[in-house]
Chain A
Amino acid sequence: MGLNVNNLTKSFGEKVAVDDISFHIDAPGVFGLIGTNGAGKTTTIRMILGIMRPDSGSSDWNKKPISRETLAFGYMPEERGIYMKSRVLEQLIYFGMLRGMNKTDANNSALSLMGRVGVLEYKDMFAEKLSKGNQQKIQLIATLIHNPTLLFLDEPFSGLDPINTETLRNLMGELVDEKKYIVMSSHQMSVVEEYCRDIVILNRGKTVLSGNLKQIKAGYGHTNLIIKVDDNHISHVRQLAENTSLSLYEDRADELEYLINGDAVAQEFLSTLVSDNIFPLKYEIKEPSLNAIFIEKVGGKV
């Protein structure tokens, strides 16, 4: 059981939107489809879902072509794809019925999901009256209402406040536990790092990086050192790092992150700090963040 995407290519006029993209998902979990705006993510998803015909290449689910009629998949677009001037439950039932459910099942499923994400009280309200976060939840319910096995979520955490993010995070966890196959597209690298086992990074329609996220990061080795000290020593640490020729990667409110070239450099710096009677509150040697890798791959540098 799994999703196979093989050499998908699509052009619009002279512009190649998707250029020979391939990836495979062979186990339940979350797969990250990452790219800047216009990288070809949405076109790729549309071709996988059978909405748009590729110029070449193919995709299949369990060796069978994917279409609206043959597979219960769910797709949540990046922007709120709901009727703002319609009542919430009414339109959810409508979306459920479009996915082949009868009215009673659609109603029950919608109410159950609304209860799970905490929006049951809004069932008879017009969608436009809801907050952005709650609209996002309604959109997610519309995607999940028919209990799809394969899910495509485009920026699911966009616009959510911390409480709603937590609710959605829990729901994502439940979906993974329910053995759903989820393709998630996001600009929030921390979200991708948290959920995705495998990723594909797209840039201008081409795959620039793909594979297991842990292995990708391991391939870079330890490149970053995070130091946290009390406020009295912060300027001293900065001075010492300058003397050791460590280059500052990020100066955060309560910690400093430096680029290192191997673990030995980090350990030597720690010795220097200790010898100056500075005992860090936090000392972490780590691989580059996905954000850094992304920037490097699509045009910046780590």
Chain B
Amino acid sequence: MKQIFNIFAFTFRDAIRKKPFIISTIIILSLIFILCVSVFIANIVYDGNLINNSDVGNIKNRTCYYIDDENLINDGMAALESEYTDTLFVKKTAADIEDLRVLVSDDSKSTIVYITKADENPNISIIYKDFMATSQTLTQAVEILNRKYITNVMIEKGVDSEIIDFSQSVTASNVEIAGSMDLTGYALGLVLTMLIFFAVYYYGYGVASSIANEKASRVMETLLVSAKPSRILFGKCLGMGVVGLSQFLLILLFSAFCYNVFIPDNFLLFGMPLSLENFTFSSALLIVLYFLLGYALYAMMNAVCGALVSKIEDLNSAMMPVMLISMASFYVGYFVSISGDDGIISKIAMYVPFSAPFIVPFKILNSDATAPDVLISIVLLLATITLVSFVSVKIYSASVMHYGKRLKIKEAYKTKVN
């Protein structure tokens, strides 16, 4: 145990002082900082309009060319003006339409509202630059004009003003998400899934690379006379794992700090408020546990890859099978997560130990993972890690002392070592 601790301590100390760790940590923390500060600055610049803004549908600083030569919708432009206060409305005629088309085709802030007669009724055409224009706003504009037209017709027909007012009234409505599947859990789940994959991949590669380097440089020979291969393997995996966990926790803590300092209360993300109600202490612990289990599973397999090669340049080809498994597992987890699927594929992905670390954290954050699901998944992961570790230690022990032609896994497994 003391030897494992010594190897762990040396590996940890060595890795956190290496440039890749320092640089990657600085880059990730800087990105988080920049993102949060950008939101903070944007909030100041827009004078708080980013938060709790109920006028999301408004067109800002735009120009609208209004054409209704036959006055088919009386006071239509006034109706639009009262709704879109930041938009400049300019009355034009049908003769200008071609020139206006050219103008609008180059200006995403300009729109043409062109009203013509079709079957004795007004036909409203909205002309704008490209599909990036807010379709919601355009639909709303058509609706305003439509309501205005109906009001005009009803006045002409002598309908009672109370009835007219009633017909124009809008039923109060609101949309409520009954479950806790909100945008925050979704976004955070995806970010964490990617972060876990990045850490599992990066630090798993670190284990393989470190072992391959020790073998190629013959440090392994010095280590082997002092410690059993299994102790070297566990000490090394533990060391790199704690380095990864430290970076992971540092990122989470720094993100939490930036969130508290820079992100305003009631901040809206794509029109929805941020909510971290599912990011509880127990869910955080479970996510860290999945990070560790995922790392342990892949690190053990990567360690074997590192031990199998004699030259560092052969490492990538030796790691290919593990890389394919991890990539496939990540994409399965990722797509199941974003699809919101709760069916059999989702269950399988949660239970399969290779993909579980890339989907269960997302499910936990979105309240889609039941306690039995999580329990089964953890038990299966632990069982697989035990099995993989047992096989890995055997192959690793034989491989680290073998140089020259790459040892076949079957031969390595059968080789007797102490």
Contact = CB atoms under 8 A, between A and B. Distances in A.
B9 to A, nearest CB: 8
A209 interface: no
A97 B227 CA distance: 11
B6 interface: yes
B22 to A, nearest CB: 14
A51 B417 contact: yes
A120 to B, nearest CB: 21
Contacts of B217: 79-84
B401 A77 contact: no
A94 interface: yes
B401 A68 contact: no
B227 A68 contact: yes
B38 interface: no
Interface in A59-77: 67-68, 73-75, 77
A13 B414 CA distance: 10
A98 B418 contact: no
A53 B6 contact: no
B225 A53 contact: no
A128 to B, nearest CB: 10
Interface string A26-51: 00000000000000000000100111
Given A51-B225, A53-B416, A67-B418, A98 B6 contact: yes
Given A51-B401, A79-B218, A83-B219, A95 B226 contact: yes
A228 interface: no
Nearest to A67: B418
Contacts of A80: 217-218
Contacts of B10: 91, 94
Interface string A239-267: 00000000000000000000000000000
Nearest to A69: B228
Nearest to A52: B417
Contacts of A79: 217-218, 221
A142 B221 CA distance: 12
A137 interface: no
A181 to B, nearest CB: 15
Given A52-B417, A53-B418, A98 B218 contact: no
A79 B224 CA distance: 14
A82 B219 contact: yes
A139 B218 CA distance: 11
Interface string B204-227: 000000000000011111111111
A12 B404 CA distance: 13
B12 to A, nearest CB: 12
Which has the most chain B C-beta neighbours within 10 Å: A49, A81, A83? A81
A99 interface: yes
Nearest to B10: A94
A77 B225 CA distance: 10
B342 to A, nearest CB: 49
A139 B217 CA distance: 12
B3 interface: yes
A86 interface: yes
B277 interface: no
Contacts of A143: 222
B221 A77 contact: yes
B394 to A, nearest CB: 13
Contacts of A50: 418
A98 B227 CA distance: 7
Interface string B313-327: 000000000000000
Given A50-B418, A53-B416, A68-B228, A94 B6 contact: yes
B411 interface: yes
Given A52-B417, A52-B418, A95-B226, A13 B218 contact: no
A244 to B, nearest CB: 50
Contacts of A139: 222
Nearest to A146: B226
Given A13-B411, A52-B401, A68-B227, A95 B417 contact: no
Contacts of A68: 225-228
Contacts of B228: 68
Interface in A79-126: 79-86, 91, 94-95, 97-100
Given A68-B227, A98-B3, A98-B226, A81 B417 contact: no
A49 B225 contact: yes
Given A100-B2, A139-B222, 8 more contacts: A50-B418, A51-B225, A52-B418, A53-B416, A77-B222, A81-B217, A85-B14, A95-B222
Interface of B: 2-3, 6-7, 10, 14, 18, 217-228, 401, 411, 415-418
17 contacts: A51-B224, A51-B417, A68-B226, A68-B227, A68-B228, A77-B222, A78-B218, A80-B218, A81-B219, A81-B220, A82-B217, A85-B18, A91-B10, A94-B6, A98-B3, A98-B226, A142-B222
For the complex of A and B, 5 pairs with smallest distance between CB atoms:
A77-B221, A98-B226, A81-B222, A81-B218, A53-B416
